[in-house]
């Protein structure tokens, strides 16, 4: 003997095929909408770029102290690159990152090129490099007295 629950007239469940079609449509809409809404650089790429710039600043400071002479990190805002004195490598940053440089007037080479200078005692000219993409940003602060490099969100 089989017992079934009574069904109201016109009530019917969804088939597996109908559920799969709805899920596929939702996935397709999400795949198209997320890149359009997201735009810019991922948070991971932005944080990685900030860490790379901070590492370059720390390297310049270490060179200044170790070699007992000034060392400079030069940042090209237009090309989105930076390099450290006596290091042949040019480090590139993501194209969609917005860069800002606040530094001493004497270290501005042009409107798009500037630098942060470190001295043999560990001090620096100080400054801030800001990397931003949309609402997210990282500020890399260089203390003028100690030359300490800190990344702030």
* 75-103 pLDDT, tens digit each: 999 999 999 998 999 999 999 999 999 99
- 3-state class (DSSP) for residue 64: helix
0.85 exceeded by pTM: no
- The phi, psi pair for 61, rounded to 5°, reads -65, -45
How far apart (Å, rounded) are the C-alpha atoms in residues 86 and 118?
A: 13
Q: Where are the domains of the chain?
A: 43-152
Q: Domain 43-152: give its CATH code.
A: 3.55.40.10
Please give the pLDDT value at position 89: 94
Interstrand relation of 71-76 and 81-84 (parallel, antiparallel or unpaired): antiparallel
By percentage, how much of the chain surpasses pLDDT 90? 71
By percentage, how much of the chain surpasses pLDDT 70? 88
Q: Where are the alpha helices (DSSP H) in the chain?
A: 16-38, 43-67
């Amino acid at each position: 003997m089989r017992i079934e629950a009574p069904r109201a007239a016109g009530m019917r469940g969804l088939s597996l095929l109908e559920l799969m079609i709805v899920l596929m449509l939702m996935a397709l809409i999400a795949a198209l909408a997320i890149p359009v809404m997201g735009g810019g650089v991922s948070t991971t790429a932005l944080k990685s770029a900030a860490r790379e710039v901070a590492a370059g600043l720390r390297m310049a400071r270490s060179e200044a102290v170790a070699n007992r002479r000034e060392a400079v990190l030069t940042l090209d805002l237009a090309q989105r690159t930076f390099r450290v004195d006596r290091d042949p490598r040019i480090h590139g940053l993501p194209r969609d990152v917005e860069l800002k440089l606040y530094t001493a007037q004497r270290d501005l080479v042009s409107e798009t090129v500037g630098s942060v200078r470190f001295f043999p005692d560990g001090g620096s000219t100080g400054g801030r490099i800001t990397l931003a993409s949309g609402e997210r940003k990282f500020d890399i602060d260089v203390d003028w007295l100690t030359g300490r490099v800190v990344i702030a969100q």
